[in-house]
Amino acid sequence: MAVVFSLTGVFAFAAGQSRVVIKDKNGVCKVIEAKEKTPATIAGPFKSKEDAEKAKTKECPKGTSSAMDKIKEKAEEAVDKAKLMGDKAKDKMKEAVPVEKKK
């Protein structure tokens, strides 16, 4: 009798767990545990994490790569800006320091 009750409790607990795929305000997709759908849910509920991960890949093919692309883009812009500032500094240095004329 005790075994039946303990197994029933385990299965009831496991049945309450489900996973959904959500997209946060930054556009990043995540798999979370939830008992029901949330406003940010884009897929689910799923019984297993593997099924939820597959759906995440299908619904958000870029996923974290889009966030990485944004980071890379910002870094490239910063490098370009730094190069431009370096070129301007070189030009100012050339103007400030007179070049000796060859005789």
Give the model confidence (pLDDT) of 71-91 as tens digits: 888 888 899 899 889 988 888
The residues facing 21 across adjacent strands are: 31, 43
pTM: 0.44
Q: What is the mean pLDDT of the chain?
A: 76
Start-end of H helices in 29-99? 49-59, 64-96
User: Is residue 29 over pLDDT 70?
Assistant: yes
**Domain range list for the chain:** 17-61, 64-96
pLDDT of residue 13: 44
Does residue 63 register a pLDDT over 50?
A: no
User: Does residue 21 surpass a pLDDT of 80?
Assistant: yes
